[in-house]
Structure 1
Amino acid sequence: MKNKLYSSLFGFSMVLVSAFFANCFAQNGSTAILANPWKVKQQIEKAVVAPVFANKNYSIVDYGAKSGGVVNNSEAFKKAIEACSKNGGGKVIVPTGKFLTGPIHLDNNVNLHLEDGAEILFSTKSSDYPLVRTSFEGTELMNHSPLIYAYNKKNVAITGKGILNGQANNDNWWYWCGAKQYGWTEGKANQNDPKNRIRLVESAEQGVPVEQRVYGEGSYLRPNFIEFFGCTDALIKDVKIVNAPFWVIHPMKSTNVTVDGVTVQSHGPNNDGCDPEYSKNVIIKNCSFDTGDDCIAIKAGKDADGRRVAMKSENIIVQNCKMLDGHGGVVIGSEMTGGVKNVFVENCVMDSPNLDRAIRIKSNSRRGGLVENVFVRNIEVGQVKECVLILDMFYNVYGNQTGSFIPQVKNIVLENINVKNAGKYGVLAKGYKELPIENVILKNVKIDKAASPYLVENVKNLQFINTFINGKKVESPKEL
């Protein structure tokens, strides 16, 4: 049942508005954070301290690395990282030049530092990437190693002004997705063959232990580019990342992660810029995302595997970032089974004719999951294709996605948002009658152009406060 407009006036002062927010959500037990969410954000920032490293340098050249982009320098990287970690940590230096390598596995107290002019070229031979514990689209498995990987490590970093080049294109990695636009042709194997992605999803549903979900060579499940798996105190700073096989930056089950000043330019399939999953205390700031999928997508596992892990992603901060091409600027889901809590987005610019949405939350009744406490402020949106805010609880991919796990979304606040062109809608929200989307507030939002102010179904307590769309003040819809 769709909500219809009705007329009402809001004469709140700033104090009353703050009280209004708290009162609206009091029944959900979230009063404390909703009364002053940005104070909570400051507390999270204080808790996330970037790692510090010993003042020791280990140049890969001293361990046999050769520039030129022809010789595979995997052993040189491995030796330099081992020596660095064994001796108390420091910087593993990649000097100016082009250095070809297979996967790089980081160790405790190691900062992989790319000097200005340095470029790491990653092998496009899938056989160069051994099996490790990782994940694919929200399901854990044994698969090709990510290009840069740290497993259960502490105090690790990737820094510097250099370039990380995955060298993925339509001739390698990308065509594995099975889409013709990425180089796949009839007769080529791909991830959608029944023995590959489908078998992985079924094995998770059947409770097969992760160690027995063995894929890798011949399975066509692409590896993540950078993955911190089970790490504490991790940093990625200043590097430029291009041409990823799959998800670009993937903090997985990690705590205290900072992504600062990173540039992502990668337009392949599923090339999300940064995907924190089952992770806590993550700050993404001063970054630029120009991607083939979501710029930032916060995850928490998928379906049965997400319920097995049962771990939230929480305390995620996104600030001072620029979003260009992508399916969404800041997205939650669709792999959100474990739940997502306390997300803060501020001072970002989102603008591209190829950016579909600004803020997006997506799930379905196979995924389920609870998303709560999402706060967005001070955002400048130039142009998006579909809408500023979309809450889609019927997201569908890979065929039938219906089940018995109804997702829940509540406490979404957008304030001080300026939009030139929202595309089709200001707000598009579709929830379930059995479990409506709850508590969505837009305050001080100005949308110059939208084909329609909003389209909502099964949304409880949608509030527009001092919000203007197409030059007209938007009144809150009355719940029927």
Structure 2
Amino acid sequence: MRNTVLMCLFALFSAVLALGQNRSVADSAIAKITKEITLPKIPEISVELQQFGALPNDAKDDRKAIIKALNYLKKRNGGKLIIGKGIYEINGPIHLPSHVNLHLQEGAVLRFAPKPELYLPMVFTSWEGTFLYNYSPLIYAKNETNIAITGAGVIDGEGSKVWSTFKAEEQADKLLSRKMNHEEQPIANRQFGKDSKLRPHLLQFIDCKNILIEGVHFEDSPFWTTHFLRSNEITIRGISFNAHNKNNDGIDLEYVNNVLIENVDFNNSDDNIAIKAGRDTEGRANSETPSQNIVIRNNRFKGLHALVIGSEMSAGVKNVFVVDNMASGYLKRGVYFKTNSDRGGYIKSIYIDQLELQKTEDCIYMTANYHGEGSGAHASQLNDIFISNVTCEVATETAIVIEGYPTKKAHHIYLSDIHVKQATNGLTLTNTKNVHLNEVIIGKRAGTPTAVK
């Protein structure tokens, strides 16, 4: 019922654009989504990590103390684990149970050892849109409810030391995982882990509900920094990133429902926010669980790309609201929707309003021909996309690119009040229909035509 209401609200956008009322329609939809998101309920009990034998700054492994503390809370149906000021060495993954808040006080640092063998045995996970078994993410939860990570401390993945060397050697494992996906091999047979070069996520929650990530700082991730997969009712707010290894996305959402991301400071050398929904054959088989009902507001972007949808989006992405965001530094692309004709699925019912960008390569880029890949058998659909009130100081390449696919044209794209002050190239529309432009200015605003002398 809720999704039907949201789709009706999107249908209203095209009718009210000329009246300048589309933001009020969006605000109504945003309120409906955020009302559905419940924060985790954590019992009042709290314990301090040092009660369980951890000593900060002693260069010894504190993971055993964390596991002991988490088990203590689990037996009491949850609570808050307080980690005080200091550096804690963590030799292996932390698996969070339900009803627990991992609270890092200011000055607390969890520093994960960069030793791949410590992140075995393998766990059920996902790698670039394909389910498989691999190294455990550094912080991991599966099938848990009411989980939180809060505070003002630092979570350091130490990814730049050993894990970063895996990038140059990952190709064979990456291609094998995709082959297994396309051939629909049983997930139980997709065994990577020891001797493989598929890096783990810094944080990954799978099949979880009622999640809060608030206040903490993430840095130096081995792979994607935070990944929320097949999870619902997620609140991410007030966190920050400093992650500059290869594939150091900030927040990756995949097969999710009801998400709020707000007041986040990004500094990532890859996608700041990437919304995904599975890759190719496997993603299309999960079309009943698209990524949907997502609110992104009041964030500060910096790094590679600000807002990305794709490229793994085969189950579909819809009902996304992105409002009142800005760049705090350079971005390669501000808005970037990417898919190809292997993916299938759709990107639709997307609303973006009030986005301030500084220097970019491309301001807005939507393509159904990502990397020029694809057999053509599974073209994706891009439609019902509303972007308004965007300013961009410089686009060193192109201000706006919209590329559909010959057999599935991008359609019903609405661009309003867009001002790119300087661009090498202006506007490129390929395989599109029903693209509506209003108050779109690239370069200087044209004035009164000069008279013939």
TM-score under structure 1 length normalisation = 0.86
Matches within 5 A, 1:387-402: 387-396=362-371, 400-402=373-375
Distance 2:380 2:15 in 1: 23
In structure 2, distance between residues paired with 1:96 and 1:279? 34
Extract unaligned runs of 5+ from structure 2: 1-10, 448-453
SS of 1:39's partner is helix
Asked if 2 retains the 8 angstrom alpha-carbon contact of 1:323 and 1:351, the reply is yes
Letter in 2 for 1:160: G
Matched, 1:143 2:163: no
Query: Structure 1 pair 81/405, CA: closer, same or farther in 2 (3 Å)?
Result: same
Name the residue aligned to 2:301. Answer: 323
Residue 201 in structure 1 maps to residue 178 in structure 2: yes
1:69, distance to aligned residue in structure 2 (A): 5.8
Q: 1:373 aligns with which of 349, 369, 382?
A: 349
How many residue pairs get aligned? The number is: 430
In 2, Cα distance between equivalents of 1:121 and 1:151:
22
Partner of 2:166, secondary structure, is helix
CA distance in 1, matches of 2:24, 2:405: 27
CA apart distance, 1:23: 8.3
SS at match of 1:301: coil
CA contact (8 A) 1:301 1:338 kept: yes
Aligned to 2:94: 104
- Structure 1 residue runs of 5 or longer lacking an equivalent are 1-17, 25-32, 179-189, 475-480
- Shift of the 107–458 alpha-carbon distance from structure 1 to 2, 3 Å rule, reads same
Report the residue type matching 2:276 in the other structure: K
Aligned mates of 2:428, 2:156 — CA distance in 1: 42
> Is 1:351–1:384's contact at 8 Å kept on the other side of the alignment?
no
For 2:369, the aligned partner's letter is: F
Larger strand percent? 2
The aligned amino acid for 1:161 is A
Asked if structure 2 preserves the Cα contact closer than 8 Å seen for 1:21 and 1:35, the reply is no
**Are residues 1:118 and 2:108 paired?**
yes
Secondary structure of 2:251's partner? Answer: coil
Distance in 1 between residues matched to 2:404 and 2:188, nearest whole Å: 37
Amino acid at match of 1:22: A
Q: Indicate the SS of the match to 2:423.
A: coil
Residues 444-463 of structure 1 correspond to what in structure 2 (within 5 A)? 444-463=417-436
Residues 39-71 of structure 1: CA distance to partner in whole angstroms, max 9, x if unpaired?
111110111122132221122211122222621
1:191 to 139, 162, 170: 170
Overall identity of the aligned pairs, in %? 32
Alignment of 1:277-296 (within 5 A): 277-296=254-273
Q: Which residue of 2 aligns with 1:63?
A: 52
The one-letter code of the counterpart of 1:362 is K
What is the aligned counterpart of 2:240 among 263, 270, 276? 263
Amino acid paired to 1:323: F
For residues 329 and 58 of structure 2, the distance between their equivalents in structure 1, rounded to whole angstroms, comes to 34
Q: Is the 8 A contact 1:358 1:384 kept in 2?
A: yes
The Cα of 1:241 is off from its aligned counterpart by 0.3
The whole-number CA distance in structure 2 between the counterparts of 1:436 and 1:177 is 35
Q: Is the 8 A contact 2:359 2:392 kept in 1?
A: yes
How far apart in 1 are the matches of 2:65 and 2:270?
Answer: 34
TM value normalised by structure 2:
0.91
Residue in 2 that maps onto 1:357: 333
Amino acid at match of 2:142: Y
Shift of 1:223: 0.5
- Report if the CA contact (8 A) 1:332-1:360 is conserved: yes
Q: 1:308 aligns with which of 285, 290, 293?
A: 285
| In structure 2, C-alpha distance between the alignment counterparts of 1:282 and 1:421, rounded to whole Å | 31
Pair 288,124 (structure 1): closer, same or farther in 2 beyond 3 Å: same
1:222 matched to 2:222? The reply is no
Q: 2:35 aligns with which of 46, 51, 57?
A: 46
Q: Distance in 2 between matches of 1:20 and 1:79?
A: 53
- Determine the structure 1 residue equivalent to 2:8: none
Q: Which amino acid aligns with 1:443?
A: S
Maintained 8 Å contact 1:283/1:316: yes
Aligned to 1:383: 359
SS at match of 1:292: strand
- Inter-CA distance 304–69: structure 2 relative to 1 (3 Å threshold): farther
Candidates 58, 67, 71, aligned match of 1:78 = 67
Cα 1:225/1:36, change in 2 over 3 Å = same
Match of 2:450 in 1: none
